Structure 1
Amino acid sequence: MPRIIAGDLGGRTVPGPPGKGTRPTSERVREALFSRLDGWDALDGARVLDLYAGTGALALEALSRGAAHALLVELHGPTAKQLRRNAADLGLADRCEVRAGKAENVAAQLEGQEFSLAFLDPPYDVTTEALESLLHTLHPALTDDALVVVERSRRSRPITWPTDWADDGTRIYGETVLQFGGPVREEEA
């Protein structure tokens, strides 16, 4: 059962989804990830999008650390229901929205939402090509200075960021690879 590491809800546990084998981001990787996000000042007041939410550990950690709002997208209906219960139990229902559906379909409906932080932690069977396509679909829903974090297995081919996006680096933690990137700010272009 994932545990929120720090912030207002630090130490609280998050019940996992019923009857579904999820692969939550390990506590070690989350700690490293959020240390980096804190260093970049990417959390305070952020509008977070967590595609492929699973346990919701990434978005819930972001909310605990100062994000203003989070949208969690999860294909598996019972898991989405559990995410809603978890948000309510943690007192986050007013700052946390859960949508059941395919990441690609929901992303296509988000134009103009202005998310400043997005997590893409798909199941292993989602191809690199599908993720690269999803980044293009997602672009209109992101702020000009949004940060996107893609979590994959070390065995997966790394994504290639769209041509008008910055590559903000890659970190490897055992079997987990985190890639950081996002749209290039207009003044940087």
Structure 2
Amino acid sequence: MIIAHYAHRLPANHDIGLIRARARERGPLWDAVPELFFKGFLLREAGRHGAIANNYSSLYLWRHDEAFREFLVSGRYKVVTESFGRAEIQTRFALDARKGTGREARFAYREDLAIPLDADLTAIFAGEIELNRALASRPGTVAATIGVDTASWTLTRVLLSEQEPSGNEDGTSYEILHLARPLLDTLPQAGAL
């Protein structure tokens, strides 16, 4: 599985209503994409939930790398570049992904953690997989994923939740404008091994 995330910083005076309309219009086009567990249309709005700037982004969990490749070469990303320019697409190899018991993902949370140089990678990965399973079991969790970037040796935790940010969360919070979830229900359940 591949986690992919890219973001576009928006001008301070950008009409956020246009972004919300774009997500309403484009979101359903992703609701049946093969080999996609989910795609979140995400918003960080200045002055809300800790955001100091406007930001529009997309977060994906692909079943395999060929599906991500198809997204790139089929022209689906061209719609993004024509509107916002080419963004850096951050990718992570997913170590674990779980479906929680939550129903409507309203917020996404992303936390990046550097892996210390001398860390025991096997132990780190096992601990993160165990933690991801615990996070998936929390009330209101729709999905939880842990990924690794082996170029920078960074872990990325992604949580899709019904819960609005309280201000005490680790990482960055995003409002989910639309969650396409073609294969989300096929992920292992929170308590499954």
- The answer to whether TM tops 0.5 is no
Larger C-alpha radius of gyration, 1 or 2? 2
Greater strand fraction, Structure 1 or Structure 2: 2
Alignment TM-score, normalising by the size of structure 2: 0.32
Relative contact order, higher structure (CA 8 A, sep 6+)? 2
TM-score by length of 1: 0.33
